[in-house]
Structure 1
Amino acid sequence: MKRLIYLLALIMSSNSFGQIEKIEPPFWWSDMHLEELQIMVYGKNISEYRVSAKAPMVINNIRRTENPNYLFITVNSRELKPGKYTLDFSMEGGESFQQTYELKGREENSADRKGFDASDVIYLIMPDRFANGNPENNSHPEMQEKANRQEQGGRHGGDIQGVIDHLDYLNDLGVTALWSTPLLADDDPSYSYHTYAQSDVYKIDPRYGTNEDYRRLADEMHKRDMKLIMDYVTNHWGAEHWMIKDLPTYDWLNQFPGYENSNYRMTTQYDPHRSGRDFKYCVDGWFTGTMPDLNQGNPLVLNYLIQNAIWWIEYAGLDGFRVDTYSYNDKEGIAKWTKAIMDEYPSFNIVGEVWMHDQAQIAYWQKDSEIGAIQSYNSHLPSVMDFTLHDAISVMFNENEASWDRGMIKAYENFVNDFLYPDINNILVFAENHDTNRLSEIYDGDIAKYKLAMTLILTTRGIPQLYYGSEIGMRGNKSKGDGDIRRDFPGGWPGDANNAFTAEGRTKLQNAYHSFTRKLLKYRKNSEVLHFGKLLQYLPDNNVYVYFRYNEKGRVMVVINNSEERQELNLSRYSEGLKSHISGTEILSGKTLELKDALPIEGQTSMVIELQ
Structure 2
Amino acid sequence: MKTNSFFQKAFVVFSLLLLLNAFLSEVNAQVERVEPPFWWSGMKNSEIEILFYGKDIADYKVSTEEDVVITRVVKTENPNYIFVSIETKNLQPQTLHFNFSKKNRVKFTQAYELKKRKENSAAREGFTSADVMYLLMPDRFANGNPDNDSVEGLVDKLNREAEGGRHGGDIQGIIDHLDYIKDLGATAIWSTPLLEDNDKAYSYHTYAQSDVYQIDPRYGSNDDYKRLAEEMHERNLKLIMDYVTNHWGAEHWMIKDLPTYDWIHQFPGYANSNYRMETQYDPHASAIDKKYCEEGWFVKTMPDLNQSNPLVLNYLIQNAIWWIEFADLDGFRVDTYSYNDKEGISKWTKAIMDEYPNFNIVGEVWLHNQAQISYWQKDSKIGALQDFNSYCPSVMDFTLHDAIGNMFKEKAGWGSGMQKAYGNFVNDFLYPNTNNLLVFLENHDTGRFNEIYKQDLQAYQLGLTLIATTRGIPQLYYGSEIGMRGDKGKGDGDIRRDFPGGWESDEQNAFQASERTELQENFHSFTKKLLNFRKNSKAIHQGNLTHYLPENNVYVYFREFEGEKVMVVLNNNEEKQTLKLARFQENLNGTTTGKEILSGKQLPLNDELTINGKTPMVIQL
- TM-score class, shorter-chain normalisation, is over 0.9
SS in 2 for 1:282: helix
Written as runs of structure 1 = structure 2, the 5 A alignment for 1:370-519 is 370-399=381-410, 401-519=411-529
State the match for 1:343 in structure 2. Answer: 354
Q: In structure 1, what is the Cα distance between the partners aligned to 2:355 and 2:104?
A: 43
Quick check: 1:42 aligned with 2:76? no
Q: In structure 1, what is the Cα distance between the partners aligned to 2:66 and 2:507?
A: 63
Written as runs of structure 1 = structure 2, the 5 A alignment for 1:56-71 is 56-71=67-82
State the match for 1:152 in structure 2. Answer: 163
The amino acid across from 1:573 in the alignment is R
State the match for 2:268 in structure 1. Answer: 257
Written as runs of structure 1 = structure 2, the 5 A alignment for 1:270-309 is 270-309=281-320
- Structure 1, unmatched stretches of 5+, are 1-14
Deviation of 1:95 (Å)? 6.2
The amino acid across from 1:442 in the alignment is I
State the match for 2:250 in structure 1. Answer: 239
Q: In structure 1, what is the Cα distance between the partners aligned to 2:300 and 2:256?
A: 14
Deviation of 1:55 (Å)? 2.8
The amino acid across from 2:437 in the alignment is I
Written as runs of structure 1 = structure 2, the 5 A alignment for 1:489-568 is 489-568=499-578
- Aligned residues of 2:56 and 2:81 also touching (Cα < 8 A): yes
- Aligned residues of 2:592 and 2:606 also touching (Cα < 8 A): yes
Deviation of 1:77 (Å)? 1.5
- Aligned residues of 2:397 and 2:438 also touching (Cα < 8 A): yes
Q: In structure 1, what is the Cα distance between the partners aligned to 2:558 and 2:305?
A: 45
- Aligned residues of 1:56 and 1:80 also touching (Cα < 8 A): no
From the CA coordinates, give the structure whose radius of gyration is larger: 2
One of 167, 183, 202 as aligned partner of 1:172: 183
Deviation of 1:57 (Å)? 1.3
Quick check: 1:109 aligned with 2:120? yes
State the match for 2:328 in structure 1. Answer: 317
Q: In structure 2, what is the Cα distance between the partners aligned to 1:56 and 1:548?
A: 62
Deviations 1:411-457, CA, capped at 9 Å, x for gaps: 00000011111011011000100000000000011110000000101
SS in 1 for 2:298: coil
SS in 2 for 1:71: strand
Q: In structure 2, what is the Cα distance between the partners aligned to 1:262 and 1:402?
A: 40
The amino acid across from 1:159 in the alignment is D
Deviations 1:452-484, CA, capped at 9 Å, x for gaps: 000101000000000000100000011101000
Deviation of 1:552 (Å)? 2.1
Deviation of 1:580 (Å)? 1.7
State the match for 1:139 in structure 2. Answer: 150
RMSD of aligned Cα (Å): 1.0
State the match for 2:337 in structure 1. Answer: 326
Deviations 1:134-182, CA, capped at 9 Å, x for gaps: 0000000021110000000000000000000000001111110000000
- Aligned residues of 2:99 and 2:106 also touching (Cα < 8 A): no
Count of matched residue pairs: 597
SS in 1 for 2:214: strand
The amino acid across from 1:171 in the alignment is K
SS in 2 for 1:540: strand
- Range 325-334 or range 569-578, more displaced: 569-578
SS in 2 for 1:418: helix
- Structure 2, unmatched stretches of 5+, are 1-24
SS in 2 for 1:574: helix
Q: In structure 1, what is the Cα distance between the partners aligned to 2:360 and 2:66?
A: 37
Quick check: 1:606 aligned with 2:616? yes
SS in 2 for 1:559: strand
Deviation of 1:600 (Å)? 0.5
The amino acid across from 1:295 in the alignment is N
Deviation of 1:531 (Å)? 0.4
Deviation of 1:402 (Å)? 1.0
Kindly report structure 1 stretches of 4+ aligned residues shifted beyond 2 Å: none
Deviation of 1:553 (Å)? 2.1
Deviations 1:222-250, CA, capped at 9 Å, x for gaps: 00011000000000000000000000000
Deviation of 1:505 (Å)? 1.3
SS in 2 for 1:313: helix
Deviation of 1:577 (Å)? 1.7
- Aligned residues of 2:486 and 2:497 also touching (Cα < 8 A): yes
SS in 1 for 2:423: helix
One of 549, 572, 580 as aligned partner of 2:590: 580
Q: In structure 2, what is the Cα distance between the partners aligned to 1:106 and 1:294?
A: 30
State the match for 1:90 in structure 2. Answer: 101
> Please, what TM-score do these two structures have when normalized by structure 2?
0.95
Q: In structure 2, what is the Cα distance between the partners aligned to 1:56 and 1:422?
A: 47
